[in-house]
Amino acid sequence: MIGAMNRRLFLYAGAAAAVAVAGGYAYRERQRPDAAPDAPPAGAPAAGGDPVAALRTLSLPDLDGKPRTLAEWQGRPMVVNFWATWCAPCVKEMPELQALHEKYPNIQFVGIGVDKAENMRQFLQKVPVSYPLLVMGAGAIDTLRTLGNPAGGLPFTLVFDANGRINRKILGQIQADDLDRTLEGLLA
């Protein structure tokens, strides 16, 4: 009985702490002097806009700081994977995405890091990836929501056909054989 009460108290205290942290973060973001009160979050499409078109034209730095857009690879199928170095399922799926990238040279793979460039560069020393990695930072969470991922969870993978339309959305870690079948279908 006492053990159950202690567990319940622990759960309530944990939930209260999480709410306090989230509230503090939201308050801090609203108090930033450089943020307009009703401006859309960084990386989010304008109200009423097409979130896929906004993502395609959004300029993001690569790991060398060079601005890039997904529109550079327009006209071919594309896999866009939102990930972070601190996300265990993201890290676990990176070698599988790399293997699929090597298997399908006619499909463009792009990783968008919800992270800092320095963390991503350090990660690449342990887990080499040869497809382009772009840096979006924490602003990516709002973009994920506009793209059909209401929780903003990671990893989140979008598969585009050659015409730039979303063919598939995968929330959570990919299943390599399942994604392989999807990519095979894109080239058929």
At 105-148, the pLDDT tens digits run 999 999 999 999 999 999 999 999 999 999 999 889 999 999 99
At 56-88, the pLDDT tens digits run 999 999 999 999 999 999 999 999 999 999 999
What pLDDT, on the 0 to 100 scale, is given for residue 1? 54
What pLDDT, on the 0 to 100 scale, is given for residue 16? 37
Assess contact for 131 and 101: CB atoms under 8 A.
Answer: yes
Task: Dig out the tokens for 133 from the structure.
Answer: 């990695």
| Mean pLDDT over each residue of the chain, to the nearest integer | 82
Element (H, E) at 98: helix 88-103
Q: How many Cβ atoms from other residues are within 10 Å of residue 181's Cβ?
A: 10
Task: Dig out the tokens for 122 from the structure.
Answer: 């350090």
Give the closest residue to 53 by CA, choosing from 186, 166, 133, 183.
Answer: 166
Give the span between the Cα atoms of 85 and 116, in whole angstroms. Answer: 9
Give the closest residue to 84 by CA, choosing from 108, 117, 62.
Answer: 117
